[in-house]
Amino acid sequence: MSEAKITVGSFLNWLLLRCVSLGMLIAGSLLVVANLRPFRLEFCCMGMLLSLIGVMGSHDLIYGVADEEGIHYRQYFASRFLKWEEVAVVSWAHADLVYFHVKGRGRSYRVLAAQSFSSKSWAEFYSKEPELVRWLGLVKPAAAGGIEIRDPGASMPALLGSNPLAATRILQFFLVLIVVILIFSMIYARR
């Protein structure tokens, strides 16, 4: 008989990545503030980039417990609940990283990532499917029937091709980054 609950992600991994993100946000902010007088474009851009990575680097990371009803998780401080009916796709990159694609309106959806360090060897890390995926097929086959389960071979090549929203967001980010760099370089050139 299989277990009624299974862990999703790892608290220690979640805490470590939150601390690294906070450290990067603080370091980036200090770099930007320290270079206002005299203004140095390269240090300001580096500080902005570090701050951006600190804020968005591990935003979607969660940890918690999955049961037959759904996933009880924490993304930051508040405890949240995600029903299995709200999950469209469960995909994974390797045995320790699982993505939950939450259904949304239209083409928009949210992706939550749960990462743990449970693999003992590299062969197990890349060859086995995550414990959560096996558990989902055994304990909750009705929910797994409504959820598309993608293995790494199915989800990685089509990451941008089948998701125009992700491709659009990436393109928008690079366009904004180029415009900001051009504005800062024009300001710096006029000095």
The DSSP 8-state label assigned to residue 129 in this structure reads P
How many domains, in total, are found in the chain? 2
pLDDT 10s digit of each residue in the chain, 191 long? 356 888 888 888 888 888 888 888 888 888 878 777 777 777 777 788 888 877 777 778 888 988 888 889 988 888 889 888 888 888 877 777 888 888 876 555 678 888 877 766 666 666 677 777 777 766 555 445 577 777 665 544 444 555 566 667 777 888 888 888 888 888 877 77
Residue in the structure block whose two tokens are 């393109």: 171
The answer to whether the Cα torsion of 153, 113, 20, 25 is positive or negative is: positive
Q: What is the pLDDT of residue 105?
A: 62
Residue 44 lies in a domain: yes
Q: Which two tokens stand for residue 44?
A: 């300001």
Q: Indicate whether 31 belongs to any domain.
A: yes
**Preceding peptide of 152 cis, ω within 30°:** no
Q: Are residues 13 and 57 in the same domain?
A: yes
Please report how the helices 41-56 and 164-190 are oriented relative to each other, as an axis angle in degrees rounded to 10: 160
User: Is position 121 within any domain?
Assistant: yes
Helical ranges in the chain per DSSP H: 11-34, 41-56, 122-127, 131-139, 141-146, 152-155, 164-190
Tell me: do 144 and 166 sit in the same domain: no
Residue 1 lies in a domain: no
Residues 35 and 114 in one domain: yes
Same domain for 148 and 99: yes
66 and 121 share one domain: yes
Q: Is residue 117 part of a domain?
A: yes
8 Å CB contact between 112 and 90: no
- What is the reported pTM? 0.65
Does residue 179 form part of some domain?
Answer: yes
DSSP string, 83-98: EGGGEEEEEEEETTEE
> Structural domain of residue 181, as residue ranges?
158-191
Q: What is the model's pLDDT at position 107?
A: 58
